[in-house]
């Protein structure tokens, strides 16, 4: 068999996200990889040709041309190509606490194989980042982290978002919030979208999401803030303004209340922010 590798530069110390390795594999019938439970690597692979078997914690799945499979960290992984119709696949391996947090957020049903997923362009983009000789080590991993996040969002929207048991009114509100997360979103605006009173909006959110619209919006802004802190070099003031906060100090207060850290301290814990 033949493999082409894209090597990302190593990062020093603790990091929230980094690409360990990426590549394209032209498998034969003997291709097989095993990892024991406890390994923190996340494997994402897109099948270009052929088929094979993926086993996670002793549960087996078939992955064929056009499918994407996700091997989660800390679980036993065993994957092998079909002998008569072997895989050709493009892939990357990722590590870091942010990787695992995003998987919990965007893969709520812990899917392993995403059938006819599409998404090949995300893998191409990560390979191109690794091959770019003009970026610094930090810039490569920053850019790759944002692509990884977009890929998980893409899979979530395609495979899981429509399965959530939300009312149509709450679904419309959530979609609006996600598309306007950088703005100040009022209850009045949400109510006008779905022709409900502000009190009805609050009741519907509590019923479907067990939270208020205010808390939902704030939590989503804080998640975006974490990504911007670890994935960009924007100043805290710029991040606050991008997320619709007119006061940097109020943003810092809210961030600290939810994370136990200031934005600066949170960024310093990741070498992506150094």
What per-residue confidence (pLDDT) applies to 272? 43
Average confidence (pLDDT) over 4-11: 89
Whether the per-residue pLDDT at 9 is higher than 80: the answer is: yes
Helix (H, G, I), strand (E, B) or coil at 156: helix
Mean pLDDT for the chain overall: 90
Whole-number pLDDT of residue 165: 64
Percent of the chain's residues with pLDDT above 70: 96
Specify which residues 51 forms β-bridges with.
Answer: 64
Res. 167: pLDDT tops 90: no
Q: What residues contact 192, with CB distance under 8 A and at least 6 apart?
A: none
Residue 269 has pLDDT above 50, yes or no: yes
| pLDDT beyond 90 at 58 | no
Dump pLDDT digits (tens) for 27-37: 998 999 999 99
| Residues whose CB is less than 8 angstroms from the CB of residue 234 and which lie 6 or more positions away in sequence, other chains included | 228, 242
User: In terms of C-beta density within 10 A (0-12 exposed, 13-18 middle, 19 or more buried), how is residue 52 classed?
Assistant: buried
Nearest-5° angle of CA 51, CA 54, CA 58?
150
Nearest to 185 by CA among 250, 245, 259, 253: 245
pLDDT above 80 for 162: no
Average pLDDT for 50-60? 93
**pLDDT grade, residue 193 (50/70/90)?**
very high
Q: What is the pLDDT of residue 4?
A: 95
More confident residue, 220 or 273: 220
Per-residue pLDDT at 191: 94
What does the pLDDT read at residue 268? Answer: 83
pLDDT tens-digit readout, 104-160: 889 877 899 999 998 999 999 999 999 998 999 989 998 999 999 999 999 998 888
What confidence score (pLDDT) does residue 126 get? 96
Q: Taking a C-beta distance cutoff of 8 angstroms, is the pair 63, 51 a contact? A: yes
Alpha helices in 107-196, H assignment, sequence order:
120-131, 137-159, 168-179, 187-194
């Amino acid at each position: 068999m033949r493999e082409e590798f894209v090597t990302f530069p190593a990062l020093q110390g603790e990091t929230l996200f980094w690409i360990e390795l990426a590549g394209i594999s032209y498998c034969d019938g003997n291709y097989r990889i095993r990892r024991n439970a406890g390994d923190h690597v996340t494997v994402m692979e897109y099948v270009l040709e052929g088929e094979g078997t993926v086993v996670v914690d002793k549960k087996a799945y078939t992955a064929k041309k056009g499918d994407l499979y996700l091997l989660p960290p800390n679980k036993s992984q065993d994957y092998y190509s079909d002998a008569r119709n072997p895989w050709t696949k493009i892939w990357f391996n990722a590590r870091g606490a942010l990787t695992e947090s995003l998987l919990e957020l965007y893969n709520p049903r812990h899917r392993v194989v995403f059938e006819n997923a599409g998404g090949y362009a995300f893998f191409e983009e990560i390979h191109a980042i690794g091959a770019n000789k003009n970026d610094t080590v930090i810039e490569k991993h920053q850019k790759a982290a944002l692509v990884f996040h977009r890929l998980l969002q893409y899979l979530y929207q395609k495979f899981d978002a429509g399965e959530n048991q939300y009312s149509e009114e709450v679904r419309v509100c959530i979609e609006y919030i996600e598309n306007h997360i950088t703005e100040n979103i009022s209850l009045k605006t949400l109510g006008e979208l779905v022709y409900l009173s502000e009190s009805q909006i609050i009741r519907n959110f509590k019923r479907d999401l067990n939270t208020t619209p205010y808390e939902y919006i704030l939590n989503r802004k804080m998640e975006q803030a974490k990504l911007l802190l670890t994935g960009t070099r924007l100043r805290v003031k710029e991040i606050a303004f991008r997320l619709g906060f007119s006061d940097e100090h109020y943003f810092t207060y809210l961030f600290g209340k939810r994370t136990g850290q200031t934005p600066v301290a949170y960024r310093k814990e990741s070498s992506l922010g150094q």
